[in-house]
A and B are shown apart, each in its own frame.
Chain A
Amino acid sequence: MRYIDEFRVPAAARELLREIDALDAHGTFMEVCGTHTMAISRAGLRPLLAPGIDLISGPGCPVCVTADADIDRAIAVARKPGVILTTFGDMMKVPGTEDSLASASASGARVRVVYSPLESLAIAAEEPGSQVVFLGVGFETTAPAVAGTMLEARRQGIDNLRVLSFHKLVPPALRALVGLDDFDVDGFILPGHVSVIIGSDAYAFLPVEFSMPCVVTGFEVTDILQAILRLLKMGASEASLEVEYARAVRPEGNPRALEVMSQVFESCDAQWRGLFTIPGSGLAIREEFAAMDAGTWEVELPEPTRSKGCRCGEILCGRIKPMDCPFFGGRCTPDNPVGPCMVSSEGTCASYYLYSESDGPDERGEGADIGR
């Protein structure tokens, strides 16, 4: 496929690996985006890199960082009479306090999986007697599509579409992360498609305020290797912000998409699962669209329970790797996930589990042989 195959050139990847080796440099780099985590695992890149170059995963899977309380709210909304809840498939098995959307669906709630928020609009048009609620989860890549769907509902006069907005913003989360006392990485591999929307300028504060080397990166193997090479060459002393994914990312982003997003949403504080509440890191529906906001509905929520012992929170901050969690590969597998990092197809644990062979031997937690 054009603009994919040309970036999958094995000989170029080998040459990039050779150049990385030749630098004889060390570094720990965080790939912020879950799509990068999956691309790195799928390509088996980690064991191919020189010793001393470590790639750790950040909080860049929107499914993984959706708070328990938000999942509980989505389930409660789905159970309301007359409601059809539409969601991306990844959200179905994410455990809330007591249930998941999958178990709610099995016990009678009307939940439908969609590929695009626009499908929710079509369902709303076909089911005028129901309230169709789209579960809005995702970063800046996805939020404009949800906003566009809401504008389109208004334009077409479809008045039974609602949205639960649990969208999150990447730059405020990165600011919170680099501010942690024990945060220890030498550079960021920054998300490509979030940056298509917000532009590379949105990360200018990272090298300036925190001396953090950054490369906005595409999703093919040669993209990721070029980013690692650039980060190693840069080093903290010459920290700057570079764009490897220039075929898609401009400094200013996509002004049209940003405008659509800001017509409908405004920033708000948001709780990130496993982390904490990060100021200005969420998107709330503006007052002008309050009639479409299902987040204000009164619902009964279960009492929050104590942690199940899952270490997703530490994995999302890059403090530990999946194999450091005692549940990984034993009690917690993609078929039977304990935490969200194992649920999402782009979750850090799911990608390490699925491609474990290529990430080196002996990297599974206690009980890893069970259930394989």
Chain B
Amino acid sequence: MCLAIPAIVIELDEPNLAVIEIGGVRKQVSLMLVDDVVVGDYVLVHAGFAIDKVDEAEAQKTMDLLQELARLEQEAGFDEIH
């Protein structure tokens, strides 16, 4: 029940609403629980509300770490073959 999906903000509507897109599907959500959202931000959507913005710098740090882990794994696999 505590699922929340990251979605991009496509359009801001009055009062305090936004159109977001998730995997090609557009939907209107409430921005009542978040401050300072602009078009292009990623928000976490739960039960028709944006519950916070995605911290894109922090996301990038984890994504870089995962890429590094994937590189290590592929190198280890290469060593095993040779």
Contacts and interface: CB of A to CB of B under 8 A. Distances in A.
Interface residues of B, number: 38
B39 interface: no
Interface of B: 1-6, 8, 22-23, 30, 32-35, 42, 44, 46-49, 51-52, 54-56, 58-59, 61-63, 66-67, 69-70, 72-74, 76
Nearest to B49: A145
Given A12-B66, A14-B73, A257-B33, A116 B51 contact: no
A18 B76 contact: yes
A261 B46 CA distance: 15
A103 B30 CA distance: 33
Contact of B48 (A90, A117, A247, A254): A117
25 contacts: A3-B42, A3-B59, A6-B59, A9-B67, A9-B69, A11-B73, A12-B69, A12-B73, A14-B73, A15-B73, A18-B73, A34-B2, A35-B1, A116-B49, A139-B1, A139-B2, A141-B2, A144-B49, A145-B51, A148-B30, A148-B32, A222-B66, A247-B54, A247-B62, A257-B33
B44 A2 contact: no
Contacts of B33: 144-145, 148, 254, 256-257, 260
Nearest to A116: B48
Interface string A219-242: 100100000000000000000000
Given A9-B67, A144-B51, A246-B62, A62 B4 contact: no
A108 B14 CA distance: 38
Nearest to A155: B15
A185 interface: no
A1 interface: yes
Contacts of A33: 2
Interface string A10-35: 01101110100000000000000111
A194 interface: yes
A256 B34 contact: yes
B6 to A, nearest CB: 4
A248 interface: yes
A3 B34 CA distance: 19
Q: Which of B1, B62, B66, B67 has the most CB of A within 10 A?
A: B1
Interface of A: 1-4, 6-7, 9, 11-12, 14-16, 18, 33-35, 60-63, 88, 90, 115-119, 137-139, 141-142, 144-145, 148, 151-152, 191-194, 196-197, 219, 222, 244, 246-248, 250, 254, 256-257, 260, 344, 346
Contacts of A117: 47-48
Contact of A246 (B5, B44, B55, B73): B55
B21 to A, nearest CB: 10
Contacts of A90: 1
B6 A346 contact: no
A314 to B, nearest CB: 21
Nearest to B42: A3
A2 B2 contact: no
B55 to A, nearest CB: 5
Contacts of B73: 11-12, 14-15, 18
A244 B58 CA distance: 10
A248 B4 CA distance: 10
A224 B66 CA distance: 13
A7 B3 contact: no
B2 A256 contact: no
A3 B63 CA distance: 9
